[in-house]
Amino acid sequence: MARTTDEIGLAAELWSPLLKQRFETLFAVASRKSLRGWRQVPLVSAQVLVVDGSLPVPEAAGWLPCVVYVGGVPQGQHLERTPQRLATYLDLDFTLSDLIDMLDRAAVFLMDWTVRQQVASSQTLVRALDDLRQQAEGCRYQFRLKAWVALPAPWNSAESLRALAMLCRGPMDVATLCEHSGMAPAAVAELLRRRPGLRVRLTVGKSDDLERALLDGSLDLAVVPSYPGHATRCAQVVIGEDELWAAARPRHPLFQLALEQGLRFGHLQGYSWALPAPGAAVRKVVDEAFAAQGLGAPTVALEIQHNTEATIDIVGQTDLLCYVPSHVLRSNPERLQSLPIPELRTRRSWLLISHPKAHWSPLMSALRDLTLG
């Protein structure tokens, strides 16, 4: 079969350094030999998710069309192939040939799945909106936007903006959408019906990469966090604030220590962390806090890109520490609690940034106004 030119996005959530290295080494070869083009992408852009089969299943495995478990016990992984989902397995000692075969099977499945989605999408949306009108927050469907949309008044309120942002992140049920956006189910239904043809490209990346893209003209606008002492070469508007906290599972030994004798910064030294790679803004904040106490850099056992559902699951079942925004703590009280370490309580701003000499198009102005509420 001739190789097609379109590339398939694959996200690998593998926490073992050896397994991650093995996969990436073989994938670099297998991706060129498969019948479709492949590339590794962030989870939000992926069609295929590769996970460690010995760890808790991440939330994304429930909504991506194709999931590959590496290692673990196949009997407990709900392996299946249906018209809507492919869940398959790779042995922990998989070979290059095994990986190529898996990529080919996933590619064939996704070709069929894409065609079915195109045929069924309009019919499914009609059924979903009917169910939403009848059941309100009890609606059994989840909704997702593939790209950001611009809406006219009265749908350019702060509540609508929050709802759109949530819908762009991933499949969202109506109850969660209403709870976090502040919109009533009837308003959500009306918002979902308004699907203008005007769309823009949404890029997810690190702050430094987004800033460079703005300055070289690849992007028009970006929303990025700003930490104390942070400077940007871009024009900026402050659109919000939040806090970051050191956190651990509720039954972590540090909480018992805090009750018995009070918790001090030095007590953190005996534990490893789940943190981004060196150079990331959050990592710099934690490293600088340790340095300010006269301590060496924290030990990082789990290097992450973002605080994904899989990361929270792992931290919630181990003695690892993490550094997360306050909204993550509010959403996961049964898995994470903040540690009473004031030196690691950081308030940050969220900025809407643009090129200093940008020409503001009507769409850019509309997005700015929506963001500012």
Q: pLDDT (tens digit, 9 = 90+) per residue, 64-102?
A: 889 999 988 766 667 888 878 889 999 989 999 999 999
Contact 332, 316 (CB under 8 A): yes
Judge whether residue 253 has pLDDT over 90. yes
- 267-276 mean pLDDT: 91
Report the mean per-residue pLDDT for the chain.
79
- 296-324 mean pLDDT: 87
pLDDT of residue 189: 59
Q: How confident is the model at residue 323 (pLDDT cuts 50, 70, 90)?
A: very high
Judge whether residue 142 has pLDDT over 70. no
As a whole number of angstroms, the distance between CA 38 and CA 27 comes to 9
How many Cα neighbours within 13 Å face the side chain of 304?
Answer: 22
Of the spans 120-124, 168-172, 229-233, which averages the highest pLDDT? Answer: 229-233
Q: Would you give the distance in Å from CA 24 to the centre of its chain?
A: 20
Tokens at residue 75, please? 């009997």
Instruction: Provide the 3-class DSSP secondary structure of residue 339.
Output: coil
Tokens at residue 107, please? 């590619």
> Which helix (H) or strand (E) segment is 321 a member of?
strand 321-325
Looking at per-residue pLDDT, the higher value among 175 and 223 belongs to 223
Contact 369, 156 (CB under 8 A): yes
pLDDT of residue 1: 39
Strand partners, 173: 142
Judge whether residue 225 has pLDDT over 60. yes
Burial of 147 (0-12, 13-18, 19+ CB in 10 A): exposed
pLDDT of residue 196: 40
- 356-360 mean pLDDT: 83
As a whole number of angstroms, the distance between CA 61 and CA 50 comes to 9
